[in-house]
């Protein structure tokens, strides 16, 4: 039997994209071959991170104090050194899509988030 465990690896901030922007980013990443065109992974939303090599990876986030983890597809990254610096100085781990900010109740403000790492533990029966 396999048990899925997610552990907190850091606490940071999440910023957000304006409505409609993340959808355009996803379409462009699909057009450029960085994301699958037919079927995207089953996720709760989309995020941008500072490291462009992570496009296509999955990131687990939850607002600090929440119980449930959410699964996000990394679809965008910092386009300049200035943006990477802004994220680093501000301890911003991700920029979430507008729908996530609405769901979290954090529109036009940062969200304190926990970043999780998924591990699989095999449990003998």
Q: Tens of pLDDT along the chain (125 residues)? A: 666 677 778 899 999 999 999 999 999 999 999 998 888 989 999 999 999 999 999 999 999 999 999 999 999 999 899 999 999 999 999 999 999 999 999 999 999 999 988 776 555 55
Query: May I ask the CATH class of domain 2-122?
Result: mainly beta
Q: What separation in angstroms does the CA of 48 have from each of 1, 4, 67, 107, 119? A: 34, 25, 23, 16, 22
For the chain, the structural domain boundaries read 2-122
CB atoms under 10 Å from CB of 3, counted, come to: 9
Return the closest-CA partner of residue 74 out of 123, 20, 115, 104: 115
pTM given for the model: 0.88
Specify the DSSP element, H or E, that contains 32: none
């Amino acid at each position: 039997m396999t048990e899925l465990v997610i552990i907190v690896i850091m606490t940071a901030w999440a910023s957000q994209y304006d409505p409609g922007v993340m959808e355009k980013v996803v379409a462009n990443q699909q057009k450029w071959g960085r994301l699958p065109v037919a079927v995207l992974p089953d996720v709760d939303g989309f995020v941008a991170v500072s490291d462009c090599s992570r496009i296509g990876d999955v990131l687990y986030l939850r607002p600090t104090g929440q119980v449930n983890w959410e699964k996000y597809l990394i679809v965008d990254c910092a386009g300049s050194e200035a943006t990477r610096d802004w994220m680093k100085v501000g301890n911003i781990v991700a920029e979430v899509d507008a729908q996530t900010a609405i769901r979290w109740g954090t529109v036009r403000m940062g969200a304190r988030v926990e970043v999780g790492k998924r591990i699989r533990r095999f449990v003998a029966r």
